[in-house]
Structure 1
Amino acid sequence: MNIKKWRPYVYYGSLAVFLILFTWGFFEVVDALQENEVAAFDATIIKEVQSWVNEGRTARMVFMTELASVIFLTIATGLIALFLVIRRRYGWALFFVLVNGLGGVFNDFLKELFKRQRPDILPLIEQGGYSFPSGHSMGSFIFYGALSFMLFRLLKGKWKKMIAAVLAGCMILLVGLTRIYLGVHYPSDVIAGFSIGAAWLFFWIMLFHFSEYRINRRLSR
């Protein structure tokens, strides 16, 4: 069996499976929310996480949560895209802008669709808008996930790729934790944000690969 021949099929098949699984996970949370099956779960997690509250930790959590705010992600996306354009990585720049920019629009659409009010259990910061799915959680998964994917493709060296992936994963999880700690999201909001953010990211990764394939095929003619 030629392993190299089958490797692309395994890779693209895995992307499709992840896209389906995370989409299914999101709709499972939606179903549980509509059936009022998440209240006990949310209350238990919130009670545990907010038992950690102290002044010093709150300051660190506020700092961490800002690393997934709309302002930060917008500026960071713009700077990274500019850097990519300067390096003549136009396809990567377009991918990074579209996956993040349209991801934000998609999150706004979902919030308006579900209109879930934010929790009122010990909110430590003020946060407007609706709660479901968590925009910070969805945005962090898309931004740091896309950044990790890009670095994984562009960096040389297995350890550099692994470090980029681990750091991205840690950032995503920490941002989700801050939203519960700060009292502005239910845990189910965060899980839904991660799920739909992951589905959105895998969809765009597949679209990026398809576009890359079409361009390379056209150039090879």
Structure 2
Amino acid sequence: MSDILRRILALALRFYCFVELRTVVVLAIVALSGWLFVTITDEVVLEQEFTGIDRAILLSLRTAGDPSDPIGPGWLEEALRDVTGLGGFTIILIFTVMVAGYCLMIRLPSAALLVLLSIVGAIALSTGMKSYFERARPDLVPHNTVVYTASFPSGHSTGAAATYLTLGALLASIQRRRRLRVYIMSWAVGLTIAIGFSRIYLGVHWPSDVLAGWSLGAGWAALCWFVLMQIPRLRERAITGAMVGRDAEPAG
């Protein structure tokens, strides 16, 4: 058993030496997000397990004996209604067009493509899965905002994760100081969490909908980032291979 463990560690170390740390982190996010989304889909949506946890969390955010009254002061509900708007389709569309257009204007087409693929792709996936699973919205408490689609996965959470994590990662990638990178990503993660929480607080999503949305949005964005990171490397390998092949041709 110890030999097997040593071999696994040796392979992992060799892999780490040949692959950038950033690539390892991105692939880890893709794998973890994918596993979490599949697990939630299987256990909660398809097999209807752990629904008691969903119900308990939702009711814990309401006043005992009055499900129509969210806990906390009155201004909190209004504030979270504003926060939830940051994950809405209109706001995300504005951010997407604005940032993608800016990237094209400064001649960064790969960054523009990343923004478009990450955000538009995540929203398309979320919309398609809502239509496929058709999970009903929570009926335990009144909805404190208007909804039009099915519940699983949360479109606001998916869009927020894809949008703000992608934009945060792009902005952080051009910062040299670690403190600034941490600051930017902290805001991106915090905003994503706040939008997801607002959907639960307002009674329009089960907690598992939000968790699945976060997983879907973050995993898809990380996958797009990884794929686009490989394009320059593949292009460089193709150019190198062509040059080597040309040099190897016999002189005529």
Which of 83, 87, 92 is equivalent to 1:73?
A: 92
**2: CA distance, partners of 1:45 / 1:189:** 12
Larger mean Cα displacement after TM superposition, 7-16 or 60-69: 7-16
Partner of 1:55: 74
Which of 112, 137, 144 is equivalent to 1:93?
A: 112
Partner of 2:135: 116
Classify 1:88/1:19 alpha carbon distance in 2 versus 1 (closer, same or farther; 3 Å): same
Which of 30, 38, 44 is equivalent to 2:41?
A: 30
Q: Is 1:172 aligned with 2:183? A: no
Q: CA deviation at 1:95?
A: 1.1
Which of 201, 211, 221 is equivalent to 1:191?
A: 211
**Deviation by residue 1:58-99 (Cα, 9 ceiling, x = unmatched):** 110111011110000001110111111121111101111121
- Aligned sequence identity (%): 25
The unaligned stretches of length 5 or more in structure 2 are 1-13, 64-70, 244-252
Match for 1:111: what amino acid?
K
The unaligned stretches of length 5 or more in structure 1 are none
Q: Is 1:153 aligned with 2:164? A: no
**Deviation by residue 1:173-209 (Cα, 9 ceiling, x = unmatched):** 1001000011110001001111111211121111111
**2: CA distance, partners of 1:157 / 1:10:** 17
Per the normalisation by structure 2, the TM-score is: 0.81
Larger mean Cα displacement after TM superposition, 67-76 or 51-60: 51-60
RMSD of the TM alignment (CA)? 2.0
Larger mean Cα displacement after TM superposition, 151-160 or 89-98: 151-160
Match for 2:37: what amino acid?
F
Q: CA deviation at 1:16?
A: 2.1
Higher Rg? 2
* Runs of 4+ more than 3 Å apart: 7-11, 215-221
**1: CA distance, partners of 2:173 / 2:18:** 16
**2: CA distance, partners of 1:174 / 1:194:** 11
Partner of 1:43: 55
Q: Is 1:19 aligned with 2:30? A: yes
Higher normalized contact order (CA 8 Å, seq sep 6+, divided by chain length): 1
**Deviation by residue 1:134-157 (Cα, 9 ceiling, x = unmatched):** 000111110011011111212232
Match for 2:220: what amino acid?
W
**2: CA distance, partners of 1:38 / 1:119:** 14
Match for 1:43: what amino acid?
R
Per the normalisation by structure 1, the TM-score is: 0.91
Q: CA deviation at 1:217?
A: 4.5
Which of 91, 102, 106 is equivalent to 2:125?
A: 106
Classify 1:113/1:87 alpha carbon distance in 2 versus 1 (closer, same or farther; 3 Å): same
**2: CA distance, partners of 1:162 / 1:103:** 24
Match for 1:117: what amino acid?
A
**2: CA distance, partners of 1:24 / 1:188:** 14
Which of 228, 231, 252 is equivalent to 1:208?
A: 228
Match for 1:105: what amino acid?
A
How many residues get paired? 219
Q: CA deviation at 1:165?
A: 0.6
**2: CA distance, partners of 1:11 / 1:153:** 10
SS in 2 for 1:117: coil
Q: Is 1:8 aligned with 2:19? A: yes
